[in-house]
Amino acid sequence: MPRTQAQSVEPKRFAKKTPAVDADKSATALTDARIAELADWRGALLSHLRRIILAADPAIVEEWKWNVPVWSCAGIICTGETYKKAVKLTFAKGASVDDPGRLFNASLEGNVRRAIDFAEGAKIDEAALTALIQATVAFNRKAATGNPRMLGK
């Protein structure tokens, strides 16, 4: 039986700050929980993007900030946010990184960040995304050479 407007399920809204009850959990556990909570195409897509990101460089670290997964290597690479109609990867220094695959399709007007919005059913160019992540890691490492505490992150 099709759902009526009154029966439709609203997407879960997540707080901007990590709840205190989750403060002692690892970033991996929190990301796993977020993927499980979504239980729809967004969770599957976030999981797939996570695998691509972590496979791009063995030094990439998964963190949890602003109540979303964050991937870093010598600085933030990107965050993984979920919205009703998209999963968004926001690259903290995206405006400074070459994007030959032309993946960036959101936050194009800013001077620092760039983002990729993935809608339901979007095809992922894994090679281009991997190259973009690796270019971001290279940019972060070069920028961190004058800041030794960032090199280990």
Mean pLDDT, range 81-95, rounded to an integer = 97
Q: How many domains does the chain have?
A: 1
Residue 108 inside a domain? The answer is: yes
9 domain residue, yes or no: no
Name the residue range of residue 107's domain: 25-138
Alpha-carbon distances of 12 from 1, 41, 96, 99, 126, rounded to whole Å:
23, 13, 33, 32, 28
Quick count: other Cβ atoms within 10 Å of Cβ 89? 26
| Inside any domain, residue 1 | no
What CATH number does residue 99 fall under?
3.90.1150.200
13 domain residue, yes or no: no
pLDDT in tens, 51-75: 999 999 999 999 999 999 999 999 9
Local confidence band at 110 (pLDDT 50, 70, 90 cut-offs):
confident
Count helices and strands (H / E) in the chain: 4, 5
pLDDT of residue 2: 46
- The pLDDT assigned to 1 comes to 45
Q: What is the pLDDT of residues 111-141, one digit of tens each?
A: 999 999 999 999 999 999 999 999 999 999 9
pTM for this model (two decimals): 0.81
| Residue ranges in 8-114 assigned as alpha helix (H) | 27-38, 41-56
Residue 17 lies in a domain: no
Read off the pLDDT of each residue in 2-9 and give the average, rounded to a whole number: 44
Would residue 153 count as lying in a domain? no
pLDDT band at 19 (very low <50, low <70, confident <90, very high): low
- Domain assignment present for residue 131? The answer is yes
Contacts of 87 (CB under 8 A, 6+ apart): 42, 45, 46, 49, 80, 81, 117, 118
Answer whether residue 147 is part of any domain: no
